[in-house]
Amino acid sequence: MSENVQSIPSPHFFPKWTNLLRFLILGLALGAGIFLNEQGFLGSRLQYLSPFKIQQVKIISEWPLTISEVQSWLPILEGKSLLQVKPEEIIFSLKQRPWIEHVTIKKQYPDRLWIEVETKRPRALSVIKGIAYFIDPNGNVIEKARPRILKSLDVPFLTVSTDHAKWNISSILTMTEQFKTISHAKYSISQIILGNYPYFKIFLDNPKLEVLLNIENWESQSRILESLLLDPPSQIGQPQRINLIFPKKAVVSIHN
C-alpha cells in the first residue's frame, strides 16, 4: 500500500523570506524617494518623512581659505535632511565668493555631507585705481591683496602701460609660468610691464636682470634666453639687460 507523502515547509522558511522582502521593498521605496527628491518632484514634503538627518558636515578647503571661512558662507545644514540638500544651490552660492574655483558636494548616507573646495591660483598682483589685487591665470581679479596672503606668495607685479585692449593677460601669465621652467627656478620674476604692443619687459631678481621681449616671437626666442640665463658668455659676465625683441637675435648689456 503506497502512501502520499507531502513535505511541510519549515516554520522558519517563510519568515526569512518575509524579512528579506520587507527590506527589499523598504530599500526600493527609499531609493525611489531619493531619486524623486533629487529630480525635484517631492520638494519639501520629505522633510517630515526622511530619516536622513545630517549629523556631520565635513569641509575640505585649500589654501588660502580656512575651513571656518567656508563654513561661515554656508547655510545651517546640521539637522536638515540629506534629501533636502540641493548641491547646485550651495555650489552656486559658494562660487560667488573670492578664491573659490571649484566645489564638490557628496552626500554620504545616512547622515553625512562632504563639501570640498578648490581655490584659484594667484599668478600676479596688479594695481587698479590705487589698490593692489590678486590676479588669476585668466587675468581676472580674485580679490584685494591681503597682508596675510602676500607673505606666503611670490608673484610678480603686473603693469599695463599702454594698449590695454590688445594685451591678452592670460597669455602673458602663461609665459611667466613657462619662464620658471626655462630658468630652472634660478630666477624669479618681480615685475612685468606691458608697453606698446607687442613689446613688454620682465624684471628678474637674484641676480637682478631686465629682459625685453616681443610676445609675437617669445617662443622662438626662449632657447636663446635659456642659454643666456644659465650659461652667460664668459667675456661679459653676468648680464644686466637682455634685448630679445628682434627675431633670432639677442642684445646683451652688462650695464643698464
The confidence score (pLDDT) of residue 34 equals 57
The confidence score (pLDDT) of residue 228 equals 83
The confidence score (pLDDT) of residue 205 equals 84
Options 3.40.720, 1.20.58, 3.30.460, 3.40.50; CATH of 124-253: 3.40.50
What lies within 8 Å, CB to CB, of 38 at 6+ separation is 83
d(CA 159, CA 12): 82
Q: At 187, list the grid cell.
A: 630666477
The confidence score (pLDDT) of residue 237 equals 67
The confidence score (pLDDT) of residue 225 equals 85
Within this chain, domains 50-119 and 124-253 share the same CATH topology: no
Domain at 50-119: CATH code: 3.10.20.310
Kindly give the parts of the chain with pLDDT less than 70.
1-50, 234-237, 255-256
Q: Which residues pair with 125 in a beta bridge?
A: 134, 157
Name the residue ranges covered by the structural domains of the chain: 50-119, 124-253
The confidence score (pLDDT) of residue 207 equals 76
Query: What pTM value is reported for the model?
Result: 0.71
Which long-range CB contacts under 8 A does 204-209 form with residues at least 24 apart? 207/238, 208/240, 209/239, 209/240, 209/241, 209/242
Q: Which is it for strands 112-119 and 131-135: parallel, antiparallel or unpaired?
A: unpaired
